[in-house]
Amino acid sequence: MCLLCNKVLGNDAMKPSKLQDHLRRCHPDKTEKDLKYFQTLKDKFQKRPTLRRHKEMMMVCGRLTIYPKSGKPHTIGEKLILPAVEEVLKTVLHKPASDIIKRIPLSNNTAERRIDEMSSDIESFLRNYLQTTHFSIQLDESTLPDNAALLLAYVRFIMNQEIYEELLFARTLITDTKGDSLNLIKTKSILSAFLARVKLMKQNIGRGEFSQFPNLSQTSCQEDDVSTYVQHLNAIYSDFESRFEDILTMVIPPWIINPYGAIEETNVIIQEEVTELSTNEELQFKNGYQQFWLQNNIPVTYPVLWNIARKFLISFPSSYLVESGFSAVTNLLTKKRNRLDIISRGDLRLTLTKLTPNVDNLLLKHQVHPSH
């Protein structure tokens, strides 16, 4: 390899005459340099940083096994990642990569163990943290390809001024099933707006006003047709009103959405805290009410208001999380991976989690092998 341009030279090009020819053609400004200059280049090249330590190799393994989020088989490490790393080492570092590749443990069994370890680390952190905070829980069940019933449990909680939604556990049931930024307040707003629009459409179409239906306005509608459309809209309105009655009838204190508005509370303690909060210039109301209530000092300074607002923030607004969880299960249990134990293995948790495993702590549990 040329120490000046890092170009890898073939065996035939290592002859003195051809090396001199390469120097004259590619580096004419270096032809007068003495032997000491090139010796210095060689020393610098040999002292460059390389991947030698066992800990570094283990960290590489720990970081790379985040690939379960892609839902790919564990063998992707050996079949795709390591060949790509080898090619980069050859092309960029211009050195044989076999020794380094051998030191990066990404076999199928190793990847499986690392995935389980990281999943257990996240689960342990999650359980410990949930013992110190309030949270809401959501459960739902679905069917696995072998007709076994799978129960997924999610939790929603607040940590570091953010709302987290995490998988708590996955369990099989002794039966079968044959026979980010949304919150509860926003859900009510969306549903109310939708029903108001359906009601408006029903009123307009009932009196022959079709401007909200461009295609319909270009045709001649009979009275029976109009009556059918109105009946359909009535059915939609009634179904949504009944299905989401608990959300639509939910009473949301106005000071949660607008803490600086007029105070309409009869509770004296709430009145006092709202008044004090609305005059606190240190609080920021830039990114909406959710981010406002997630500020660090609010739970301590305004505990009564926080206990009320928190319930609206950590409540699950819909079942989309468990539905996405079942979708992830389907993606993991492909025909080529239908024997994957989705319950005891860590693939599902690492696919769904937004938390990061503590790789440094996991590394401490592994002994350094003398051969490394």
Identify the domain boundary among 193, 213, 248.
Answer: 248
Whether residue 143 sits in one domain with residue 78: yes
356 burial type by CB count under 10 A (0-12 exposed, 13-18 middle, 19+ buried): exposed
| pLDDT tens figures, 291-311 | 999 999 999 999 999 999 999
Q: In the prediction, which pLDDT does 129 show?
A: 94
Whether residue 100 sits in one domain with residue 120: yes
Across the beta sheet with 162-176, the strand order is 135-143, 148-159, 162-176
Please enumerate in sequence order all residues whose Cβ is within 8 A of that of 175, keeping only pairs 6 or more positions apart, or say none.
149
Q: Quick one: which H or E segment has residue 155?
A: strand 148-159
Measure the CA–CA gap between 210 and 46, rounded to whole angstroms. 79
Which amino acid, 290? Answer: Q
Whether residue 147 sits in one domain with residue 236: no
Interval 18-30 mean pLDDT:
85
* Count of CB atoms situated within 10 Å of the CB of 360: 10
Whether residue 173 sits in one domain with residue 192: no
Whether residue 128 sits in one domain with residue 22: no
Secondary structure of residue 180 in the 3-state scheme: coil
Whether residue 156 sits in one domain with residue 73: yes
What is the widest separation between alpha-carbon atoms in the chain?
101
**Residues of the domain holding 118:** 52-179+340-372
Whether residue 66 has pLDDT greater than 70: no
Whether residue 163 sits in one domain with residue 106: yes
Whether residue 145 has pLDDT greater than 70: no
Q: Report residue 164's pLDDT band, with 50, 70 and 90 as the boundaries.
A: very high
Q: In the prediction, which pLDDT does 118 show?
A: 85
Whether residue 123 sits in one domain with residue 174: yes
Whether residue 193 sits in one domain with residue 163: no
268 part of a folded domain: yes
Measure the CA–CA gap between 297 and 291, rounded to whole angstroms. 12
| pLDDT tens figures, 318-362 | 777 888 888 888 878 875 566 778 888 888 888 888 888 887 788
370: left (phi over 0), alpha (psi -120 to 50) or beta: alpha
331 part of a folded domain: no
How many domains does the chain divide into?
Answer: 4
Whether residue 199 sits in one domain with residue 153: no
Whether residue 116 sits in one domain with residue 56: yes
